[in-house]
Structure 1
Amino acid sequence: MYLLSLGYLLYERYLAWQITRSITKTPAHVAIILKETDILGLEGMDKLLAALLTFKRFKVELVSIYVDILKTDQPVKTELASTLGTRLETNFIDILPGTGYEIYGLEGEVKSSRQGRDFFVYVSLGFGGRGEITRAVLSILEGVKAGRIRPEEVDEKLLESHLLVKHEPDIMIRSGGQKLSDFLVWQSVYSELYFTDINWKDVRTIDLLRVIRDFQKRQRRYGK
């Protein structure tokens, strides 16, 4: 067991050395897709906080997190979103001082926010990309109807200005599966994708460093 732990530590240091010596930048914006069961327990929440600290250490500036709430009963979903939002806010304040964040509820409402300096975290609790786009379109239509927006002004940039997250992820991480979920549908069209069969509660620092190193080795094509 000691030799195995030592091997992990040495490999972790090797990956960190590779990342820091690379001439390719680390991703500025990382997106993570989780299930509510991934972070309901203390272990899952601790994993998330450790991941955020790792990303911050390696110069990631922005992390967007989607928590897919799988429950179909609306009162249960609402209670879960409220519980997770409170836990996240408390942990961000205690464990990540100085970090800015915005936590969105099931309808895209801002449940909690704080300004930050060099690191920011978005968390969407069950509010997906299709709902985000629909709400943006409805907001634009209201502006047109009220005369604040002329129809000829409606374009991609205007729609993007009405989205909750206005930054495109460099890479999207999905643990424990091979499918994307309904998150940042508009923003992620040119994002790199990274799938791992490892469930979130089993994710190690080594796995996160592999994501960063893998990103550095890719040649981004932006849909070309």
Structure 2
Amino acid sequence: MRVPPFLYSLYERFLRGQLNSTKRPLHVGLIVDGNRRFALANGLATRKAGHMAGSDRLQDFLKWCLELNIKIVTLYGFSTENYKRSSEEVEELMSIILNKFRTLQADPLIADENVKIKVIGRRDGFSQEMQDEISKVEAMTEEHDSFQLNIAIGYGGRAEIVDAVKQIGEQIKAGEIEIDAIDEDMLSNHLYTEGMPDPDLIIRTSGEERLSGFLLWQSAYSELYFTEVFWPAFRKIDFWRAIRVWQQRHRRFGK
């Protein structure tokens, strides 16, 4: 049953009033899931329509984060495991991602809110056209420093750690560092998220309760929030519920 707009507005204001204005996550990780099931549940003509609906939700989510003064979002858009899907679906996803990068370049929100965009993951599997668009959007926003959007595509948490270890190994081989100098900080500084704080909160949509390789190293002390809502149907109130739960938890950091 569809909630009347005036009731939704009342609940939104009620929920907003429950949030602690002085306690905000600095970095939110987001695993967007459920596009295909959303398409099926809503009678959309194609699977691609579900993925497109999910793509369209990104700018809304950015606005909600900016409203709460959250500074960093890392979005899990396409994993290394997603290459195992049918070639047709992979091509559909790559087409949607390519168009999203072009849309972001033209979106006034990115310039007006000083949003920096960084793509994390292995790029060697992308077309040259995709790599060119990634370079464009990163160069265009390189000097922006009010908000950072990390888009993880061609990404796998294990692959990220392997790449970091390879970089450190090359430095040892070149005589630039000693093996005894390797510690957690050094490994962190060779990850794709070098220089960024670890995520305070990771949200996954669609009811699945696992990280699926997302930020494996960085999520050691992250709070996890799982919601049944499919990503294309994710609303501001769903996001605020996640923030409310995060604010109610006591983070112990292993203590």
Q: Smaller-chain TM-score range? A: 0.7 to 0.9
The share of aligned pairs that are identical, in percent, is 34
The aligned residue for residue 153 of structure 1 is 181
Aligned position for 2:225: 194
Q: Determine helix, strand or coil for the equivalent of 1:96.
A: helix
Counterpart residue identity of residue 224, structure 2: L
Residues 198, 219 of structure 2: 8 Å contact kept: yes
Correspondence for 1:30: 28
Matching residue of 1:55: 65
Query: Is 2:110 the counterpart of 1:96?
Result: yes
Cα distance change of structure 1 residues 206 and 46 upon mapping to structure 2, 3 Å threshold: same
Contact 1:71 1:77 survives alignment (8 Å): no
Residues 1-224 of structure 1 aligned to structure 2 (within 5 Å) = 4-19=4-19, 22=20, 24-35=22-33, 37=35, 41-69=51-79, 70-72=82-84, 79=91, 82-93=94-105, 94=107, 95-97=109-111, 98-107=114-123, 111-112=134-135, 113=138, 114-115=141-142, 116-166=144-194, 167-176=197-206, 177-224=208-255
- Structure 1 residues 162-205: Cα deviation after superposition (integer angstroms, max 9, x where no partner): 00013300000010112221111000000000001111111111
The residue type paired with residue 152 of structure 2 is: S
Mark the runs of 5 or more structure 1 residues left unpaired by the alignment.
none
| SS in structure 1 of the partner of residue 4 of structure 2 | helix
Do the aligned partners of residues 36 and 206 (structure 1) sit closer, same or farther apart at CA in structure 2, a change above 3 Å counting?
closer
2:155 is paired with a residue of what secondary structure? Answer: coil
Deviates more, 1:115-124 or 1:95-104: 95-104
What's the TM-score, normalizing by structure 2?
0.77
Q: Which amino acid aligns with 2:215?
A: L
The answer as to whether partners of 2:35 and 2:231 remain within 8 angstroms in 1 is: no
| Structure 2 residue ranges without an equivalent (≥5) | 37-47
RMSD, matched Cα? 2.7
CA separation of 1:103 and 1:171: change in aligned 2, threshold 3 A: same
TM-superposition CA deviations, 1:87-121 (whole Å, max 9, x none): 23223231432211112354489733122221110
Out of 90-99 and 136-145, give the one that drifted further: 90-99
Give the TM-score normalised by structure 1: 0.87
Aligned residue pairs, count: 222
